Amino acid sequence: MKKFVAIMAVAFLAMSTTGASAATKVTISPQNKVSKKNPVITVKLSGMPTTNGLYLSQCMAPKVKGEAPTACNPSKASKLWVSALAADQQMGAKAATGKITMKLDKYFKDGDCVHTKCVIYVTNDHNASSDRSEDQLIPFKFDGLLPF
């Protein structure tokens, strides 16, 4: 029984989306006072993967800690593909250096970032889609609003 519990604990930690073990450091600015009139954030990345890129999406925070979000903004402006690989950049990925911006929406289909908690969801791109090691949830809120 102890062996089963230990295996389940390791499996749960491997599936966690907290980002604590993610190699890439992702910071967004502003994080706690995103403008309601011009909701654009700047994204800074360091320690990018060398074999794949990252996807960043505006999503509703998951209701259960450790799970992935289920409702994400469908707008192309609220999604980013960032990669250090030249081949990915030729296909449309943004370079991981320089100024990277992302437009957020207060409301989107199945999403309300005014009255509830929203996050920037970071995952490995299609080149490493089964690898969850880069999964991160970065909370943000709009200026003057207190969703969390």
Q: Which domains does the chain have, with CATH numbers?
A: 2-140 (2.60.40.230)
Mean pLDDT computed over 21-45: 91
Contact 103, 79 (CB under 8 A): no
pLDDT at 15: 41
- pTM for the whole thing? 0.80
CA 119/CA 108 separation, integer angstroms: 13
Residue 122 has pLDDT above 50, yes or no: yes
Mean pLDDT, the chain, rounded, equals 85
Residue 120 has pLDDT above 50, yes or no: yes
Q: What percent of the chain has pLDDT over 70?
A: 82
Phi, psi of 126 (to 5 degrees): -60, -20
pLDDT at 141: 94
List of residues 6+ apart from 7 with CB closer than 8 A: none
Cis before 30 (ω within 30): yes
List of residues 6+ apart from 111 with CB closer than 8 A: 58, 59, 60, 71, 72, 73, 105, 118
